[in-house]
């Protein structure tokens, strides 16, 4: 599958909710029960490609799904993830927001520490404030 198509029979049979610009369905390889993908209807690969209206449509579905998942799965918290680009783990070249309802002792990640799966493993020293200020300034200068 190269991208998510709301008209694909598999996706259509799993469709949870949609609005004019986005749709949501459970992934076929869930981390926890209820693991859902929220996608724009238009095929785009990156956040930069979304219109403001599409971003809003995705977030509206996230809010609606959150309420339903609290009721359906007794969710006590949520993980959200967006992977952009193959090197960052994007397996399907269609932007999608992963939404995972979480509760104590579920089968997903027990100790949430992004450094364990997003960054290099092991402990890292805290960055000095001067370095953080320099990084902030570098980014600001490139806005």
First to last CA, the chain: 35
Host H or E run for residue 13: helix 9-14
Q: Where are the alpha helices (DSSP H) in 44-121?
A: 52-73
Gap between the Cα atoms of 78 and 21, Å rounded: 23
Strand partners, 81: 98
Percent of the chain that is helix, strand, coil (3-state, to 5):
35, 15, 50
Gap between the Cα atoms of 78 and 101, Å rounded: 5
The catalytic site residues sit at: 96
């Amino acid at each position: 599958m190269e991208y998510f198509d709301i008209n694909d029979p598999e996706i259509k049979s799993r469709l949870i909710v949609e609005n004019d610009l986005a749709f949501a369905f459970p992934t076929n390889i869930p981390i926890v029960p209820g693991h859902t993908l929220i996608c724009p209807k238009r095929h785009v690969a990156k956040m930069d490609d979304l219109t403001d209206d599409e971003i809003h449509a995705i977030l509206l579905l996230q809010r609606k799904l959150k309420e339903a998942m609290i009721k359906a799965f007794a969710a006590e918290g949520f993980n959200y993830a967006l992977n952009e680009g193959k090197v960052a783990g994007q397996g399907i070249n269609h932007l999608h927001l992963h939404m995972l309802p979480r509760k104590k002792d579920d089968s997903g990640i027990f100790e949430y520490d992004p450094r364990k799966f997003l960054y290099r493993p092991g402990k890292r020293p805290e960055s000095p404030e001067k370095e953080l200020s320099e990084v902030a300034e570098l980014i600001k200068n490139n806005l």
